[in-house]
Amino acid sequence: MHGNVTLAFALTVFAGLSTGIGSAIALFAKSTSRRFLSISLGFSAGVMIYVSLVEIFPEANSELVHAWGENTGTWINVFAFLGGMLISLLIDRFVPEVENPHHMRTLRKDEDGVIQQPDEAKLMRMGMFAALAITIHNFPEGIASFTAALADPALGVTIAIAIAIHNIPEGVAVSVPIYYATGNRKKAFWLSFASGLAEPLGAVVGYLILRPFLSPGVFGIVFASTAGIMVFISLDELVPSAKEYGTGHDSIYGLIAGMGVMALSLLLMM
């Protein structure tokens, strides 16, 4: 068992910290490229929407149906998903607009009509909210992957590789907005990298404290709520911002690319 625990934790660390690969994209970004920013935000939205609706939501439904039956489990899944959206909506409602990352602000122009650089404070908040959503997602994911590796090390290796692949674009979702907000490549990298630490942290908490109390129903509610939060952030902030900072179809190209990368990573899990 000790060997399995060590392997399970190592695999979870590997999967979680793969966000650093996506984070590294910020190191190569050009601060003057508004098109890159638009495509990156669209890409992030595509990743978050696709993984929420195609992976997390069905997984939540499976867990909840297993816990409470077909009819009740499906209803709980839908309400938990909408509940996640409601959480984000309440933040919009009660947080003052000047501090709210979900209130769009128009781009400012100088006296010559040239559009100024993006709102740095807004982008910073956007990156931090993306980090929060991804952290919430990675925490129970870490518990689940760790538990699977304990039960079947071979299965654990497969799951860890798949999670690592789809954590790479999640690193982009955090690093790019923070880099454009601060102009600091190292800060963008480390804040994004840190969001991946939720995965091994979830493994530790699950093994030491929560493991005896976890149930399919609890996992299902957490996953469904997280999916709702991620979809709300994508539709309310990432997609509009991507269109605001780009021209033509840049934001849509990024969104489709994000969905494509996410789809490929999920197919590799099969």
| pLDDT tens readout for residues 251-262 | 999 999 989 988
Question: Which of 25-29, 39-43, 58-62, 77-81 comes out lowest in average pLDDT?
Answer: 25-29
Residue 86 has a pLDDT of 92
What mean pLDDT comes out for the span 155-181?
74
**Average pLDDT in the 158-185 region?**
74
Q: Per-residue confidence at 55, pLDDT binned at 50, 70, 90?
A: confident
Return the pLDDT at 206: 75
Q: Which residues contact 62 (CB under 8 A, 6 or more apart)?
A: 220
**Average pLDDT for 70-74:** 96
pLDDT reported for residue 77 = 97
186 compared with 255, residue with greater pLDDT: 255
Residue linked to tokens 């030491």: 208
The partner residues of 109 in beta bridges, in order of sequence, read 115
**How far is the C-alpha of 205 from the C-alpha of 165, rounded, in Å?**
23
1 or 55, higher pLDDT? 55
Q: What residues contact 222, with CB distance under 8 A and at least 6 apart?
A: 60, 136, 140
State the Cα torsion 181-185-188-194 to the nearest 10°: -170
**187: which 2 tokens?**
């800060």
Q: Is the pLDDT score of 242 beyond 80?
A: yes
Q: How many residues does the chain have?
A: 270
Could you tell me what percent of the chain has a pLDDT over 90? 13
**Mean residue pLDDT across the chain:** 77
As given in the structure block, the two tokens for residue 9 are 């934790």
Residue 259: per-residue pLDDT:
93
Please check the confidence at residue 239 and state whether its pLDDT lies above 60: yes
Domain ranges of the chain: 2-105+118-267
pTM equals 0.67
pLDDT at 83: 94
Q: Is pLDDT above 80 for 31?
A: no
Q: What is the pLDDT of residues 98-151, one digit of tens each?
A: 444 444 444 444 444 444 555 666 677 767 776 776 777 677 678 767 877 776
Please tell me which residue, 113 or 179, carries the higher pLDDT value. 179
Would the pLDDT of 200 be above 50? yes
Percent of the chain with pLDDT over 70: 77
Per DSSP, helices labelled H in the chain are: 2-17, 19-23, 34-50, 57-68, 70-94, 120-151, 153-182, 185-195, 198-205, 216-233, 239-245, 250-267
